[in-house]
Chains A and B, each alone.
Chain A
């Protein structure tokens, strides 16, 4: 355990001054080895600059920082390079959003990938674009999918060796999902993995009739890569139609699964399905966190996963073996998991014409925003929605290309921002919460309660700090060991991305987006 923790720390330290990928480290831990800002001085954190986007749509992007330059996407379809000391822009790449372009949940984009002098961006009109890092000028573009059929790209791409990997959103529009790899120099497609198996492919038998054709299986949150195993891990979205499971009998692979693919060929090595035959829109679009653990006396290459379905999982990432699964929020759909990790569904929980009340609600126990793992504390941290429920309705719906295809609705607690907190309509008030979980037993170690829920990811650092935010508009730093609040600022609008940290000229910065603006903090003079 200790040697592995040390190697994780070294890996973090080597790349410490920059933040070069969506998930921050090779292990996707959203952990930084920087410790200039620490528990003893974080109270002196001061605002250095704000950068406001032209659009009023909220930021969901996690910026990249390389040698003092920040590369980030602004909604809806813009990439921008900023100076990290002043916030002033160097260049902008703006791509128009064509009329009829549909994105389920806002014209958002989660960020960029970089290799050498090239920046990669997925676009709302479902293209992959390569930009020159110095000028923002387009080098090439490749059409990934047809936007008029409900496909869009909101995910930050992942670069693995000479390939750039990404896939579409559109699980609410009857897409047939995939994950694809493109040559980083030319943009030519190298491999494509169908998240909904086509006829003749293994797993196709888990779909009845023609239901696979509109089966969903989006790939809208960035996965991870283990170079030793040469495996790419990616979480797959919900089956379609979301709330009419009668239209698609079967397990509906590989929806709501994590897949492990050979990075060179895209061939499936293993999969694990968190929610077979999902009836509630429990996308498995979370970041696969890669951690090496001493698991009951044996060294394991593990994967930690807080799922939208309300369960926390530990898997063996070499084999996909299920090691542990335990609820981290109130849930009423499953009696638990059997020895193989398959959930035991409680009867009477399916969506219905009259509506079926269920925990967790449609936004899940957690969702797409990044969790974090600190090798210093050995804890897994995630943002959760506790005591949160929704009424799920189901009805028959015919598929029309490019149109909404959900087969029902999930009503209740997602009013727009700046109203009452969303979970107050139930018999017992719910709340948003940051939870620290011991991955060795799935037990909660501490929690930090909020009034409203949160769509903010988490950053932990070698200064034993945890940074996150919430819908209430707060950005805060906690003691990663205890959950004690050490610093907090009101930024005036929802935080819906993951904070990052980096150094420029020896100064450690922390940057987070709130609403449609980026905020950068560093220690004040004398700290």
Chain B
């Protein structure tokens, strides 16, 4: 008996929420503001409201996901995006924003224009040949590519194509110092004993620095034990400007842009 009553109650809930969704459909079925001028206005709003967490180019930050992949964790429909922007995502740092309807739609139009997935398809290179370039240049010594092997010293590239534009990928190969994620900044320090220490900076507070030394040892340096230290914001990765160029570069970019395509498609379903 108790079960029957519960079911009846759930059915009522189901019907009433379905009705609510239908009503929403009637009012906000499609993005009404999506002209180039709306995209430009959306970009302005994005810079003032969203970029602090999602990055100026929407490629994500320490607390917020990338918005350039064309897929969205909490739903990719216009309606879902509208809800996330206006209501936020409970349990995350994403709060709701008090924008008027037009501003929200312009933001959505801008987000649509960021879609990397579309630009990845436009990559001029040959991804299969790019995979050979990846192998020949030893990229796997420091990077993983989703194949189950590779090193952990550099960023995971398994889904890089879903997070970075073609231009960003190319820039990271020829000029790794141009944009270094803070998770890959280094520390160079000298101890009072005269010993020099260096490693990837993993964490820091007023008294200590946590680093990963070459070879993988985790170590905490107390600032009181140091005579000096500096945070190096350049990349430990060498530039491949002189080693990979022309068609090889285009092929490698195409290969990397394709990484994560499977995950992207799965998310889209």
Contact = CB atoms under 8 A, between A and B. Distances in A.
B45 interface: no
Interface of A: 67-69, 81, 83, 85-86, 88-91, 117, 132-135, 137, 139-140
B218 A83 contact: yes
A117 B203 contact: no
B148 A140 contact: yes
Interface in B194-241: 202-203, 205, 207-208, 210, 212, 216-220, 222
Contact of A90 (B144, B153, B218, B222): B218
29 contacts: A67-B217, A68-B218, A68-B219, A69-B218, A81-B218, A83-B218, A86-B207, A86-B220, A88-B205, A88-B208, A88-B210, A88-B220, A89-B210, A90-B202, A90-B203, A90-B210, A90-B212, A90-B218, A117-B216, A133-B216, A134-B212, A134-B216, A134-B217, A135-B152, A135-B153, A135-B212, A135-B216, A137-B156, A140-B148
A333 to B, nearest CB: 30
Nearest to B156: A137
A89 B209 CA distance: 10
A216 to B, nearest CB: 23
Contacts of B218: 68-69, 81, 83, 90, 134
Contacts of A137: 144, 152, 156
A88 B202 CA distance: 10
A139 B158 CA distance: 12
A380 to B, nearest CB: 36
B208 A86 contact: yes
A88 B208 CA distance: 8
B70 to A, nearest CB: 21
Contacts of B152: 132, 134-135, 137
User: How large, as a class, is the contact surface on chain B?
Assistant: 10 to 19
Contact of A85 (B153, B156, B220): B220
A48 B68 CA distance: 44
Nearest to A81: B218
Nearest to A69: B218
A83 B216 contact: no
Given A86-B208, A91-B202, 13 more contacts: A68-B219, A83-B220, A86-B222, A88-B203, A88-B205, A88-B208, A89-B203, A132-B152, A133-B216, A134-B152, A134-B212, A139-B148, A140-B148
A68 B208 CA distance: 15
B23 to A, nearest CB: 25
A83 B212 contact: no
The list of the 5 closest CB pairs from A to B, nearest first, reads A134-B216, A83-B220, A135-B152, A132-B152, A137-B152
Contacts of A83: 208, 210, 218, 220
B60 to A, nearest CB: 15
Contacts of A89: 203, 210
- Select the residue from B156, B205, B210, B212 with max chain A CB neighbours within 10 A: B210
Contacts of B208: 83, 86, 88
Nearest to A398: B3
A89 B218 CA distance: 10
A253 B144 CA distance: 45
B63 to A, nearest CB: 12
Contacts of A81: 218
A137 B153 CA distance: 10
A117 B155 CA distance: 18
A140 B210 CA distance: 26
Contacts of A88: 203, 205, 208, 210, 220
Contacts of A139: 148
Contacts of A91: 202
A312 to B, nearest CB: 41
Interface in B142-164: 144, 148, 152-153, 156
A481 B26 CA distance: 76
- Select the residue from A85, A88, A91 with max chain B CB neighbours within 10 A: A88
A89 B202 CA distance: 8
Contacts of B219: 68
A83 B210 CA distance: 8
A382 B156 CA distance: 46
A467 B222 CA distance: 30
A117 B153 CA distance: 13
B50 to A, nearest CB: 22
- Select the residue from B205, B207, B216 with max chain A CB neighbours within 10 A: B216
Nearest to B202: A90
Contacts of B203: 88-90
Nearest to B215: A134
A91 B208 CA distance: 15
Contacts of B217: 67, 134
B161 to A, nearest CB: 18
A133 B218 CA distance: 9
A423 to B, nearest CB: 31
A229 B217 CA distance: 35
A91 B212 CA distance: 10
Contacts of A132: 152
A85 B216 CA distance: 19
A135 B216 CA distance: 8
A137 B144 CA distance: 10
B222 to A, nearest CB: 8
Contacts of B220: 68, 83, 85-86, 88
A133 B152 CA distance: 10
B219 to A, nearest CB: 8
B254 to A, nearest CB: 25
Contacts of B210: 83, 88-90
A89 B210 CA distance: 8
Contacts of B222: 86
Interface in B93-152: 144, 148, 152
A484 B83 CA distance: 61
A132 B205 CA distance: 24
